[in-house]
Structure 1
Amino acid sequence: MSEPSTSRAASVRPAVPEDGPALGELDRSTWSTLHAVQPRPQPPYEPFFDDRHPPRDILVAEAVNAAGETVLAGYVRVVPPTPMVCNAHVRQIQGLAVAGWARGRGVGRSLIRAACAAARAQGANRITLRVLGHNAPARALYEAEGFAVEGVLRGEFFLAGRYVDDVLMGRPLGP
């Protein structure tokens, strides 16, 4: 996707197939109705990577944990939103997760910035995402990184006994 980048919070690099088990565990450990529309994963677990979700679409963040080890701290998935040529100038974030121990350390911000850089390197001039309306922390982070609300699908999902909005956000990718 792009060259690795480093920040105080995390080092971001393209995923490799060997990251699959750790990414699967991260996905399961961060599952929450705050951001997930699918039911909680149950054993036997599906592999993280498959034909629709290859390593080339994922950037991973590594950071130093409390034990002083450099470990996987998060990931972001960046893909074309459709296979149409007329939409080839757009990339979409279709998944972002940060380990609980790494939250508040700038890992999410590093991943978003790396996603924008990767999209730009692929020739995109715009990036979009969808976020659940009640996910205030994610929305605030996206807004701080230049994303703006471009649409709201009111009551699009019924989660944990209530209707939740699907918020469409996007931003241009400058030079």
Structure 2
Amino acid sequence: MSETRTHPVLVRPAVLADEAALGELDRATWSTLHAVMPRPQPPYEPFFDKRHQPEDFLVAEAVDAGGERRPAGYLRLVLPTPLACNSHVRQIQGLAVAGWARGRGVARTLLRAAFAAARSDGANRMTLRVLGHNTPARALYESEGFVVEGVLPGEFFLDGRYVDDVLMGRPLVP
């Protein structure tokens, strides 16, 4: 658990009632630094849908400047494929932290909660994909034990340039 001066960052499973807050957070944090989909435009798609269920998400709550505890970030953790032979792996398919909560350990707290959740679900490996130019995210992932396992050079064309898709992974067992 990450501590700010007096208020810890708490992580919990998402619930359907998080729909509006997580949708707003997702739109507020959209950037070509980490997103390959176009910027969301109204009318907005629901945050939760058939492929993105509440049980796929962990929500970090923190106390904002007004003293209110609210969602400060989320992490989507799923099976990478429906194959039984791949069921020992969990994949991070989304991580976002609100601007007001950055620098408070929210992302690191979410990652560590994801490791624990995956282990308790029987997983022994975790993977993710990150855009090559997202240096802060890559540094965070490396500091939490992820290593680069592959690179798809120029996989995406964003903001007028080709960007690598970096595949990272780490074991969940010592």
Question: TM class by shorter-chain length?
Answer: over 0.9
Deviations 1:7-28 (A, max 9, x none): 3151000000000110000000
Secondary structure of 2:67's aligned partner: coil
Corresponding residue number in structure 2 for 1:35: 34
Indicate which of 2, 7, 25 corresponds to 1:7.
2
Corresponding residue number in structure 1 for 2:25: 26
Query: Using the alignment, how far apart are the partners of 1:101 and 1:169 within structure 2?
Result: 28
Secondary structure of 1:19's aligned partner: helix
RMSD: 0.8
Corresponding residue number in structure 2 for 1:3: none
Secondary structure of 1:53's aligned partner: coil
The residue correspondences of 1:1-175 to structure 2 (distance < 5 A) are 6-8=1-3, 9-174=8-173
Secondary structure of 2:127's aligned partner: strand
Query: Using the alignment, how far apart are the partners of 1:174 and 1:101 within structure 2?
Result: 34
Query: Using the alignment, how far apart are the partners of 2:146 and 2:116 within structure 1?
Result: 14
Shift of 1:149: 0.4
Question: Hey, which bits of structure 1, 4+ residues long, moved more than 6 A?
Answer: none
Query: Using the alignment, how far apart are the partners of 2:140 and 2:39 within structure 1?
Result: 24
Structure 2, gaps ≥5 residues long: none
Aligned length: 170
Query: Using the alignment, how far apart are the partners of 1:149 and 1:116 within structure 2?
Result: 18
Q: Which amino acid is 1:101 matched to?
A: W
Query: Using the alignment, how far apart are the partners of 1:108 and 1:7 within structure 2?
Result: 10
Q: Which amino acid is 2:164 matched to?
A: D
What is the TM-score when the length of structure 2 is the normalising length? 0.96
Q: Which amino acid is 1:78 matched to?
A: L
Is the contact between residue 73 and residue 107 of structure 2 (CA under 8 Å) also seen in structure 1?
Answer: yes
Shift of 1:72: 0.5
Shift of 1:174: 1.4
Percent identity of equivalent pairs: 77
Structure 1, gaps ≥5 residues long: 1-5
What is the TM-score when the length of structure 1 is the normalising length? 0.95
Query: Using the alignment, how far apart are the partners of 1:150 and 1:30 within structure 2?
Result: 27
Query: Using the alignment, how far apart are the partners of 2:84 and 2:59 within structure 1?
Result: 27
